[in-house]
Chains A and B, each alone.
Chain A
Amino acid sequence: EIVLTQSPGTLSLSPGERATLSCRASQSVSSSYLAWYQQKPGQAPRLLIYGASSRATGIPDRFSGSGSGTDFTLTISRLEPEDFAVYYCQQYGSSPLYSFGQGTKLEIK
């Protein structure tokens, strides 16, 4: 079973700053099968990044994804007020078929 561990649990930053979120897998994950989501309170998750580094439709270019193997990163280059939310990484391919990290809460400092 692949376990995804996200760090930090909470990240406190100010608008305009750069955010770096980490997702570490307990076993190697194919880059094609690593995705990132944003979720705001009371809303469904929104796909940000798929295939580890491809932005989903309509996602601003301040969001970028990188990494391979067991270490993946979501970077937000300059935080906008609307970026403060919870972020999840997700993998496909190993039991369970899909799994999510526990989430990183990005809060305003």
Chain B
Amino acid sequence: QVQLVESGGGLVKPGGSLRLSCAASGFTFSDYYMSWIRQAPGKGLEWVSYISSSGSTIYYADSVKGRFTISRDNAKNSLYLQMNSLRAEDTAVYYCARDLCSSTSCHPRAFDIWGQGTMVTVSS
């Protein structure tokens, strides 16, 4: 079945780094745009970053620009988020999500498949 599974979360000190992974299965990963979305404890959803199907187009939220790097390996059906210079306010559950936008059509736009999330805690 169509599935996304995140891993790599954990406890890290302020200023530290962490790399999240998202393994995709059940669909042609290389066809779809992908995003990372996070949710701080008890808070709403915040989009973090997006990468096109080929990896040629990348966007970041202002809150993580210059600190986080999104990437993908279509041969391994995997999405990544390298997080550097972590801050307490980065503490959240991080979800990877598939965009309805694919290599064939980008209308409409929404996130139709979500992983279960991985918790990142930034604390000393």
Residue from the list A44, A47, A101 in contact with B110, Cβ < 8 A = A47
What total of chain B residues lie within 8 Å of the partner, measured CB to CB? Answer: 22
**Stretch from A15-23, A67-75, A90-98 contacting the other chain:** A90-98
Secondary structure at chain B's binding surface: helix, strand, loop or mixed?
Answer: strand
In the complex, number of A-B residue pairs with CB atoms less than 8 Å apart: 66
With known contacts A44-B115, A54-B108, A100–B95 Cβ distance under 8 A:
no
Residue from the list B35, B59, B117 in contact with A44, Cβ < 8 A = B117
* Residue B45 CB within 8 A of the other chain: yes
CB proximity of A80 to chain B, nearest CB, Å: 22
Chain A residue, CB-CB nearest to B49: A97
Q: What residues of chain A have their CB less than 8 Å away from a CB belonging to chain B?
A: 32-33, 35, 37, 39, 44-47, 50-51, 54, 56-57, 88, 90, 92-93, 96-103
Q: What residues of chain B have their CB less than 8 Å away from a CB belonging to chain A?
A: 35, 37, 44-47, 50, 59, 61-62, 95, 100, 107-112, 114-117
